Amino acid sequence: MNRKLLSIFVFLLAFAPRIHASHMMGADMSYKCLGNGKYLITAKVYRDCRGISFSGPSVGVFGGTNGGNGCGTYGLSATRTGIRDVTPRCSTQGKPCNPQNTYGTGEGIEEHTYEISVDFNASPLNNFTNKSSCCEVTFYIGQCCRNGAITTGPAGNDFYSTCMINICNILKTTNKCNSSPKLSNEPVGFLCCNQAYYFNNGAIDTVDFDSFSYRVVPGISSLPNNSVTYSSPFTYQYPMTVYCVPPTTIKCAPNIKTNPPRGFYMDSSTGDLVFTPTKCDESGVIVVEIIEWRKDSSTGKYIIVGKTRRDIQ
């Protein structure tokens, strides 16, 4: 098998096409409960350093049920608190994203961190409280456009990433506050084309000790949850070309016990992602959603208290 070493952005294979006018490679969001209805929302946006500089993302919040925004959508103000070169390189090598946030500096990845302070006792979030139709409060960050190097369909689509707090379900639990899981593994790595790849986001909750489940979901191109466009045969469940038998399909049943692993595998309990990439000039989009569960103090059943996602080209 071809052992050509390829740099990837977490779940992605992004290579040959030299189309870098756009810059959005991915994002993830999290939140921390500060008490008394106050939360700190953190968004990390990943920029392709070969593309244009990053500024002025769209940031806001909407409320509703079942992922909708029936209770309204409101803009919020975010503060950029840091820019960091997260290109996976040896310590003896220079970083390619220098100077920061500058067009065409090199083949690298730059992490931009934004923070938003919110208060459910104040406008606009108090529009969602004490209303059964507004239980899901979703924060978002967005920007045009997805990286032009994507080859599986979503190139040029608008980009949104979200995180959700279920303010009704939280009140049904012993702990009336919730902090989202922390993703301890950076969305940057290396993989070898035609060799098995194993990855886990490293979601941990050392505050509330909630339980997690995982699933692959569509990327968002417009609010509240409209999917990006995938080119056939790709879908969000089959986002790239992986080793399959027969090799004429990418939609074979996954089997991680074969050598190499077959198909595209996501473990819904652990979040483990396993696949063997076979098309080395391909760039795809994978979105993993982490669902946070906590026990209802009245019924003893587990209910959803939050969702976060990592959207990576």
Q: Note the pLDDT tens digit of each residue in 132-155.
A: 999 999 999 999 888 888 899 999
At 188, the pLDDT band (50, 70, 90 cuts) reads low
Residue 23 structure tokens: 């810059």
pTM of the model: 0.90
pLDDT tens digit string along 193-210? 899 989 999 999 999 999
CA-to-CA dists, residue 254 to 108, 266, 290, angstroms: 32, 9, 21
What is the DSSP code (8-state) at residue 167?
H
Q: What is the largest CA-CA distance in the chain?
A: 59
User: How far apart are the C-alpha atoms of 50 and 24, rounded to whole Å?
Assistant: 11
Mean pLDDT of 251-272: 97
At 190, the pLDDT band (50, 70, 90 cuts) reads low
Q: How many domains does the chain have?
A: 1
Dihedral over alpha carbons 79, 9, 213, 115 (to 10 degrees)? 0
Provide the mean pLDDT of the chain.
89
At 56, the pLDDT band (50, 70, 90 cuts) reads confident
pLDDT of 191: 62
Residue range(s) defining the domain that contains residue 81: 5-312
User: How far apart are the C-alpha atoms of 65 and 70, rounded to whole Å?
Assistant: 8
At 50, the pLDDT band (50, 70, 90 cuts) reads confident
User: How far apart are the C-alpha atoms of 111 and 183, rounded to whole Å?
Assistant: 14
* 310 contact partners, CB below 8 Å, separation of at least 6: 10, 26, 27, 28, 161, 183, 187, 201, 287, 288, 290
pLDDT of 18: 37
At 257, the pLDDT band (50, 70, 90 cuts) reads very high
